[in-house]
Structures are given as structure tokens and as C-alpha cells.
Structure 1
């Protein structure tokens, strides 16, 4: 809603597929978005350490989207990444 009020042409963030650099886990039955750093070429993504700290929000340029039925991804798996900065798409 805020993006619409600011006059943004699109309100949804684009997403891309990228290779995971480090294994991640998530709770089953709950969609989650893991703060991450997308590589300059947009081909790989690294989940940030200390997800519970607010400071990791400023370090993130992307979120790894983890579905309700997924609980574990290993390094090298392809994941869906929600891009926060336009230069990566």
C-alpha cells in the first residue's frame, strides 16, 4: 500500500532463481522470508547470519522465499529470491 501511495508503477517485488551458497532450514507449515545477499551477477544468494538482529535488514538486498511445505535447502539448491534492489534484475 505504501508503494502505491508513493506512486510506484508496480507494487510487487520481482523474483529470480539463484543457487544457494549455504544450507538453510525453516519451520514446516509456515512461509518465511530469509534475509540474504544476492550476488552481483544475480546467480547465487547467501543467507545472512543473525536473522534475529534488526541490523541484518540493512545488509540484505534480497529475501529467500521459503514455502510452507519446504523445511530444508542445501548449498547448491536453486531457490526463489525476492529482489529488493533493481540493479540485480
Structure 2
């Protein structure tokens, strides 16, 4: 991950929550020795990072990774669809 310079300004983010959740989050912040704002900011940042990674990163277990690498390393003849796509590409670009 690339380190970024601190942002100079901030944006307001307001959210309404039930009193029970507010109390729980306040308690958690106090247990961590953080302000409510600092605790919520860190939690939201972590959740946002996880959501982005879940959408952008594909994770494979060892067996699936091994199967993928075997498939990528295997030499195979181009099928009809690949040959047709290559022919269309050559026709569009004029490359042989």
C-alpha cells in the first residue's frame, strides 16, 4: 500500500443510529482510549478497505491456485472462437 500525505481538509459524515448502537460504539471507543469520532473513522476506513478488496481481489485456496497455474501453463491449440477473434482483430487493425 502506498503511503499518502495527510489530507488538509475533512468532510462531514453524519449518520443516525439507534441509542443502543451509539452506547455500544461509545463504550468500544472508551475501551480503546479513543474519541468516538476517531473510533468511528477507523472502523469505517477498515470496512471501506475490506469492501474494496472484496470487489477487486480474487483469493484462491492452494488447490484452486494450483489448478489455475496448471491450466495457464498447459499448452493448448487455439479453438474456433479464438481463431475467429484473431481474424477479426487482424481485419480491424491491418496487422498480420
TM-score by length of 1: 0.23
Pick the structure with more helix per residue.
2
User: Which structure carries more relative contact order (alpha carbon 8 Å, separation 6+)?
Assistant: 1
